[in-house]
Amino acid sequence: MYIKKKINNFTVIFNPSGAIFILELSILVISDLHIGKSHSIAKYGNFLPPFDIDDTIGKIKSNIDHYNPKKIISLGDSFHESDTLNIISENHIKNLNELFKNREVYLIDGNHDAKLKCKEKLNAIFKESLILNNFNFTHIKNSQSIKDLFEFSGHFHPKVTITSNKIKYKFKCFILGENFCILPSFGTYTGGLNINSDVLKKILPKKKKVIAIGKNKLLEI
């Protein structure tokens, strides 16, 4: 199940994977992949199965197969740390470049990967932020909106809690305001921040919509 909305006269499709697709511009937007997080955690003695990279790459491929985008924009923290491209296997880098082939791929700097080493290994363009048409693509939501621009960002890994029959369920979610959208984390080993947390309460307006992500289904709240 997908949800479609008109934003700045463009059709924006919200996907249960946590991605969005801007139809008329043929742009796939994802955020906070945190590729290599399992390797980073392992350095501190907390061992997790290192299958997150394959799973995350698989999710990207599924969206590419479905939408066949001309452009891909990742809104920061695509990689978990500055050394990730030296740590993960060359095969994973090869698989990413295969997905990126014949497309414009923009990787926005995040707080985790702003100083990413060996960027030349990837067939991608690295940007602090990016403006295309009437959209601004950045990592962290700006405190003040830029006139006439709708902003897409990530960083906060938003989650929402829904109570049913006195049982609380937590879901990743999109947060949609009048002139902004915060995407959920796309990566497999990524946590989340509740939309009612003090951090998000300070930056979010009262008037907003939440699109919760269930199993292959979206729910607008």
Q: How big is the chain by its Cα radius of gyration, in Å?
A: 17
Task: Provide φ and ψ at 85, rounded to 5°.
Answer: -70, -15
- Mean pLDDT calculated for residue range 186-198: 92
Q: Which amino acid is at 212?
A: A
pLDDT tier, 81 (very low <50, low <70, confident <90, very high otherwise): very high
Share of the chain above pLDDT 70, in %: 98
- Mean pLDDT calculated for residue range 180-198: 94
Residue 3 has pLDDT above 80, yes or no: yes
82: left (phi over 0), alpha (psi -120 to 50) or beta: alpha
Share of the chain above pLDDT 90, in %: 84
Which tens digit of pLDDT belongs to each residue from 132-175?
999 999 999 987 778 889 999 999 999 999 988 889 989 999 99
Most confident of 34-38, 60-64, 191-195: 60-64
Mean pLDDT of the chain: 94
Total count of residues recorded for the chain: 221
Residue 212 has pLDDT above 90, yes or no: yes
pLDDT tier, 118 (very low <50, low <70, confident <90, very high otherwise): very high
pLDDT tier, 44 (very low <50, low <70, confident <90, very high otherwise): low
C-alpha to C-alpha distance for 82 and 22, rounded to whole angstroms: 30
- Mean pLDDT calculated for residue range 81-106: 96
- In eight-state DSSP terms, residue 104 is E
pLDDT tier, 45 (very low <50, low <70, confident <90, very high otherwise): low
Helix (H) or strand (E) holding 214: strand 209-214
Q: What does the pLDDT read at residue 186?
A: 97
Cα dihedral sign, 9-10-13-19 = negative
Burial call 95-112: b when 16+ CB within 10 Å, e when fewer? bbeebbeebebbbbbbeb
Which tens digit of pLDDT belongs to each residue from 14-37?
999 999 999 999 999 999 999 998
Helix (H) or strand (E) holding 37: helix 37-42
Residue 48 has pLDDT above 80, yes or no: no
Closest C-alpha among 180, 178, 174 to residue 218:
174
Give the burial class of 197: count Cβ atoms within 10 A of its Cβ; 0-12 exposed, 13-18 middle, 19 or more buried: middle
- Mean pLDDT calculated for residue range 87-101: 96
Residue 68 has pLDDT above 70, yes or no: yes
